[in-house]
C-alpha cells in the first residue's frame, strides 16, 4: 500500500526541479529497469505489480522492493501503457569531465535539443554506433526526464551524458569540430578522421550562431526530394552511421 506522500514524491520526479531536489529519477519497464540494476547506477527502490514482479527474475538481495496494486501503479506511472515496473534511481554524481579520455574518439554535442523523444533516440542510436559521450548544452532537455529515459530503451544506463556550456567545452577539447549545417560539404565527402566533435543543433533553429562560429567543418546531408529538413535524431543517425562506416573501412 502506497502512502499519499510516496505517490506524490514519485510523480513529482516527472519535473526536473524535483529530480534535482530529491536526487532521484524514474526508470520504467522490465527491460530498462533490469539494465539500470545491472549498471553503475544506484537504485533507490523498485515498485512492481504482482504480475510484473514475476517478469523481473532474480533481483539483488539488498534491493528495496515494494509490491503495489494495479490501480496504485497507474497513479505513479508516467507511461500511457504502464508495464508494472518502476524504479527510482539516484542521479549520477556530476563528475569532472575526463579530458584524457576525450581525445581519441568522436563525441556528440547537442545544442539545445528540445524534444525528449529526439534526445532519447539520439542516446540509443549513439550507443549502437559506439559513441560513448554525449555533451549537451545547458538548454538541452534533461536526459533524466522520464520520456527521455523511456526512449533510450536502457541505453542511458551505459552512456555518459554531460551538461555544460558548449562553447567553452569546444575551446577546451581542441578537437576538430564538425557541424550539421545546411551549407556545407557533403557528409559522404567529409573525412571524419579518428576523433572529433559532431555538433547537432536545435529542432527549429539549428546550431546557435556563436557555436556555428566554432565549427571547423560545416557538413551537409545531401537531399534528393522536396523535404525541407530532417528530424534531428535522423540527422544524428546519418552522422553516426557515416563515421562508423569510415572507421570500419579504415580498420
Contacts with its own copies by CB under 8 A lie at 117, 121, 124-132, 153-155, 158, 186, 188, 221-231, 233-234, 237-238, 241-242, 244-245, 248-249
Distance from C-alpha of 156 to C-alpha of 152, rounded to nearest angstrom? 6
Nearer to its own copies, 145 or 166 (CB): 145
Nearer to its own copies, 129 or 178 (CB): 129
Quote the least distance from Cβ 222 to its own copies, whole Å: 7
Quote the least distance from Cβ 241 to its own copies, whole Å: 5
Distance from C-alpha of 51 to C-alpha of 55, rounded to nearest angstrom? 8
Quote the least distance from Cβ 3 to its own copies, whole Å: 31
- Check: CB of residue 95 under 8 Å from CB of residue 55: no
Within 10 Å of residue 196's Cβ, how many Cβ atoms?
20
Nearer to its own copies, 47 or 192 (CB): 192
- Check: CB of residue 85 under 8 Å from CB of residue 48: yes
Rg (CA), the chain: 20
Quote the least distance from Cβ 6 to its own copies, whole Å: 28
Nearer to its own copies, 24 or 125 (CB): 125
Quote the least distance from Cβ 197 to its own copies, whole Å: 18
Q: Between the CA of residue 111 and those of 45, 53, 56, 114, 247, what are the distances in Å? A: 33, 39, 37, 9, 25
Nearer to its own copies, 121 or 170 (CB): 121
Nearer to its own copies, 6 or 246 (CB): 246
Closest to 133 measured CA to CA, from 169, 167, 109, 113:
109
Helix (H/G/I), strand (E/B), else coil: 133:
strand
Quote the least distance from Cβ 184 to its own copies, whole Å: 15
* Residue with cell string 559521450: 133
Amino acid at each position: 500500500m502506497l502512502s499519499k506522500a510516496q505517490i506524490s514524491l514519485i510523480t513529482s520526479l516527472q519535473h526536473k526541479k524535483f529530480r534535482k531536489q530529491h536526487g532521484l529519477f524514474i526508470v520504467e519497464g522490465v527491460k530498462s529497469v533490469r539494465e539500470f540494476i545491472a549498471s553503475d547506477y544506484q537504485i533507490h527502490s523498485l515498485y512492481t505489480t504482482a504480475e510484473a514482479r514475476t517478469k523481473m527474475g532474480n533481483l539483488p538481495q539488498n534491493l528495496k522492493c515494494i509490491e503495489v496494486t494495479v490501480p496504485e501503479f497507474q497513479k505513479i506511472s508516467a507511461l500511457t501503457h504502464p508495464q508494472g515496473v518502476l524504479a527510482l534511481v539516484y542521479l549520477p554524481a556530476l563528475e569532472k569531465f575526463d579530458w584524457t579520455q576525450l581525445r581519441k574518439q568522436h563525441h556528440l554535442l547537442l545544442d539545445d535539443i528540445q524534444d525528449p523523444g529526439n534526445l532519447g533516440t539520439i542516446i540509443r542510436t549513439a550507443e549502437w554506433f559506439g559513441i560513448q559521450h554525449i555533451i549537451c548544452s545547458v538548454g538541452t532537455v534533461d536526459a533524466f526526464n522520464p520520456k527521455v529515459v523511456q526512449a533510450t530503451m536502457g541505453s542511458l544506463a551505459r552512456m555518459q551524458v554531460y551538461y555544460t556550456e558548449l562553447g567553452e567545452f569546444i575551446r577546451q577539447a581542441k578537437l576538430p569540430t564538425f557541424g550539421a549545417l545546411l551549407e556545407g560539404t557533403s557528409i559522404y565527402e567529409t573525412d571524419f578522421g579518428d576523433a572529433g566533435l559532431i555538433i547537432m543543433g536545435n529542432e527549429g533553429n539549428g546550431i546557435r550562431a556563436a557555436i556555428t562560429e566554432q565549427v571547423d567543418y560545416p557538413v551537409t546531408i545531401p537531399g534528393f526530394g522536396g523535404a525541407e529538413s530532417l528530424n534531428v535524431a535522423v540527422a544524428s543517425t546519418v552522422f553516426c552511421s557515416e563515421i562508423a562506416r569510415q572507421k570500419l573501412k579504415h580498420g
